[in-house]
Amino acid sequence: MKQTTGRIEVITGPMFCGKSEELIRRLRRAKIARQCVASFKPAIDNRYDAGSISSHSLQTLEATLAADTGDLIAKLGDTPAEVIGIDEVQFFGDAIVQVVIDLAAAGKRVVLAGLDMDFRAVPFGPVPVLLAIADEIQKLSAVCMSCGLPAIYTQRLSHSEELVVVGAQGMYEARCRACFEP
């Protein structure tokens, strides 16, 4: 009998660094390997394509929308998926941590993509805890849109103080440590 071992993989970094693109790449490779894959994204993420995980480079992969962690659990049900991908995991809140632990304990490979810091450079939602329990972490950097150096921060360009403002180019820029304006 084949022994299945669960696994938690976290892809993180600022906006525009390729997190969703890397998630899509990993999930496509799992499909090539004939593994059953299920992918999810938060319903709040309405950029680009509502029914797909979408990268800023316009790569897409069909995904199921979930309003919150409870909705995600309901949609997972008794999924036969061996590999579960979740994009924009920071929007699912702290309850996602136990869900991910339970999925890995059930032998699932869970691949997560999410921002590690918000626009204030503060650790974002459940991502720091997910990083702590991950089997594998890939921290990506973007290109600073001010000077061209590697960027680890997301600079919000609008003056909104709301924590969650979904947007893309024109609302946010990737910035390096020197160019980031807290």
> Which strand (E) or helix (H) includes residue 21?
helix 19-32
Stretch 144-167: mean pLDDT, rounded?
A: 87
Rounded-to-integer distance, Cα 79 and Cα 73, Å: 10
Least confident of 30-44, 83-97, 168-182: 168-182
Spatial contact of 144 and 160, defined as CB atoms under 8 Å apart: no
Q: Report the pLDDT value the prediction gives residue 72, as an integer from 0 to 100.
A: 96
Q: Grade residue 47 by pLDDT with cuts at 50, 70 and 90.
A: low
Note whether 71 and 93 are within 8 A (CB): no
More confident residue, 50 or 181: 181
* pLDDT of 114 over the 70 cut: yes
What tokens appear for 48 in the block?
């680009």
Dihedral in degrees, nearest 10, Cα atoms 12, 17, 21, 23: -10
Tokens of residue 5, six digits = 């071992």
This prediction has a pTM of: 0.91
pLDDT digit string (tens) for 86-95?
A: 999 999 999 9
In Å, how far from its chain's centre is CA 8? 12
Mean pLDDT computed over 121-137: 98
H-state helical runs in 64-112: 69-76, 96-105
Per-residue pLDDT at 149 exceeds 60: yes
pLDDT at 1: 44
Confidence of residue 137 (pLDDT cuts 50, 70, 90): very high
Catalytic annotation, residues? 88
Name the least confident of 44-53, 60-69, 109-118: 44-53
CATH T-level assignment (fold) for domain 7-140: Rossmann fold (3.40.50)
